[in-house]
Amino acid sequence: DAGITQSPRYKITETGRQVTLMCHQTWSHSYMFWYRQDLGHGLRLIYYSAAADITDKGEVPDGYVVSRSKTENFPLTLESATRSQTSVYFCASSESDRWGTEAFFGQGTRLTVV
């Protein structure tokens, strides 16, 4: 299917466990982003990537790791999950970094850390 897909849609994990959220896009967009969405905070950028093997920190990167070995995939790993990382995570992609370029979002992954 064309577009941007996230997996899993829902995940429950225990404190201290490592968990990886997957993101795959079929457009060959250069830019990919990970956001978390929390009540009262809106969408906050965790990490972004301008191309394969190029990643950069966003507003709230602590506790997260990303990689981008292939243009179409941008996994987000929580190295040791904490309850404060309970959130809805959105992956997005865009064609370029040029201002005004549309960002396309996945459906989100709802992560609960118990």
Q: Give me the residues that bind other proteins (CB under 8 A), please.
A: 33, 35, 40-45, 48, 50, 58-59, 90, 92, 97, 99-108
Give least dist CB 60 to other proteins, A: 12
Peptide bond into 8 cis (omega under 30): yes
> Residue 50 or 65: which CB sits closer to other proteins?
50
> Residue 11 or 44: which CB sits closer to other proteins?
44
> Residue 14 or 99: which CB sits closer to other proteins?
99
For residues 108 and 87, what is the distance between their CA atoms, to the nearest angstrom? 10
